[in-house]
Chains A and B, each alone.
Chain A
């Protein structure tokens, strides 16, 4: 089964990224990403620039509305993602629990649409 692990982080954590005193915090993310790759389950993933660098576009009627910032104004924002191929949801949750932001923000785990996932009967 393929799952997307979406890493949601509180605003303060985005500021920690380039704060000199947060070397350990950055190292923990690098170590986590390396562990995911070393386990041979990664189908790719990226870290994202902070939410305020985002731009949201909506088309309403024939008008394009372009706005600065993230789509939803929530306390926790998407900071990155991984797509992993693991046997089941329990294994995906185990990897989600290892993400450094699991304790401060949260990780959303969602199955990825694949040909096999669609063909699989729902249990």
Chain B
């Protein structure tokens, strides 16, 4: 294995273990912050040592024993008596006793942790970063840029969320059956929000080899492995993999923005596409349709061009109508209008756009880009120019601005 690959594998293993240990410590003490403190040094040490020394045979036990040594010293010196430390020492003892027996000594409680992070009592803006931090061990500084906040602000937000979990006594339990659909939706939304922030950061200064999109996909994979009989997590994973497969094709060699319908399918990643299709198929076999499966199906339809069999435009109209019926959103309304325009002409699409209340789209860039595009297709040049200008003003990305400007110039 070469150095970067070894490093990545070690990092992944360290995260896997860290997330599992943090989940179980938190589930027993309800104190995420103290559990993080108890494990922090051991985790940092693992990230330092494992890439060079290789991944230990029992990563959980390795982390626990390092954490225990640190904590025992601290305990002797300062009589640290917090629950998390005591739990960690107990857990380390249990793992030691179980050492030599086969199988995972530490039960996987990460799913409970995800449900806690996405609990309705937690500020919605904190859910995605909280999941990334607790389950994958990402720090606030690393995530802040993607979430468009200052590292200190994001740090405070995470501290507040953890304090709230403890103070409000948010249970580390599976939601009741009747609550499960909504609570699972919140978990999925949190993961997808993390994916979205990474996706928007396409030209960002994020020079790290793994952006937040890869981290969000990791969360999706973990969720699917913990809930193998639920179709929606598979739908979400498929959706993210479809998007990820096209990530490289979003910019030309010169860094110019390339819209989806003009992307070169040869630049899409075939392995990710194949995996996405597999996930979507597995989900559909469970015969319980949900919004994430529909969104993945829409992405799948967009990718059919690759095999030279474009999906009929009316099929996309039906998919978007289905998505709106299950989960209304401005984004889906705008997309439906574009699908209608493709299937039945720009005027029909424009009428669908005009049906959306103006206040809801005043600052929504995709609406103005779509409107400009459809006005231009219908030959309304002056109105199209105005809409392009509005879309340019609402764009936060130079490549997108340049593209829209070129479209406007061409009128």
Contact = CB atoms under 8 A, between A and B. Distances in A.
Nearest to A32: B393
Contacts, number: 57
Interface in B379-405: 389-398, 401-402, 405
Given A38-B362, A40-B362, A30 B389 contact: yes
A102 B203 CA distance: 12
B252 interface: no
Given A28-B405, A97-B148, A100-B401, A39 B392 contact: no
A95 to B, nearest CB: 8
A98 to B, nearest CB: 5
A52 interface: no
Interface in A22-47: 24, 27-28, 30-36, 38-40
A31 B389 CA distance: 5
Interface in B293-347: none
B395 A27 contact: no
A103 B148 contact: no
B392 A28 contact: yes
A111 to B, nearest CB: 13
A24 B402 contact: yes
Q: What range describes how many residues of B lie at the interface?
A: 20 to 34
Contact of B363 (A39, A93, A97): A39
A31 B397 CA distance: 13
B225 interface: no
A36 B390 CA distance: 10
Contacts of A102: 396
Interface residues of A, number: 22
A17 B309 CA distance: 48
A117 interface: no
Nearest to A88: B125
Interface string B350-364: 000000000000110
B58 interface: no
Contacts of B148: 90, 93-94, 97
Among B125, B393, B394, the one with the most A-chain Cβ atoms within 10 Å of its Cβ is B393
B153 interface: yes
Interface string A61-95: 00000000000000000000000000001100110
Given A28-B401, A31-B390, A103-B203, A97 B396 contact: yes
B8 interface: no
Contact of A98 (B125, B153, B203, B394): B394
A24 to B, nearest CB: 5
